[in-house]
């Protein structure tokens, strides 16, 4: 922990999302679903800053992001880090 009650999974998610957002912003290529990826990354960032995110919503955003940028090889590593961060939240509770 970082001296607070912050969930380390949330901190990891915030870091991974921030990295992917930076890499996407630096990517000069334009592609049709870039806006979708940017919107969903903003949603993930908001969820991570709000404390304990909703797991089904995290997974939904991840699917949209992966669908939007999945074929952009320059973002593959950062996208994988976001996926790993989301996976730390486990299965949604029923």
Percent of the residues in the chain that have a pLDDT greater than 90, as a whole number: 69
pTM: 0.87
- In the Cβ-directed half-sphere of 68, how many Cα atoms lie within 13 Å? 20
pLDDT tens per residue across all 94 residues of the chain: 445 678 899 999 999 999 999 999 999 988 889 999 999 999 999 999 987 888 999 999 999 999 999 788 999 999 999 999 999 998 755 5
């Amino acid at each position: 922990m970082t001296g607070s009650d912050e969930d380390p999974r949330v901190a990891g998610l915030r870091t991974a999302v921030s990295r992917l957002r930076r890499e996407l912003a630096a990517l000069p290529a334009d592609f049709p679903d870039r806006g979708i990826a940017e919107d969903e990354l903003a949603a993930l960032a908001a969820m991570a800053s709000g404390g304990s995110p909703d797991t089904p919503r995290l997974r939904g955003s991840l699917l949209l992001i992966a669908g939007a940028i999945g074929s952009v090889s320059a973002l593959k590593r950062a996208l994988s880090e976001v996926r790993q961060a989301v996976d730390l939240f486990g299965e949604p509770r029923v």
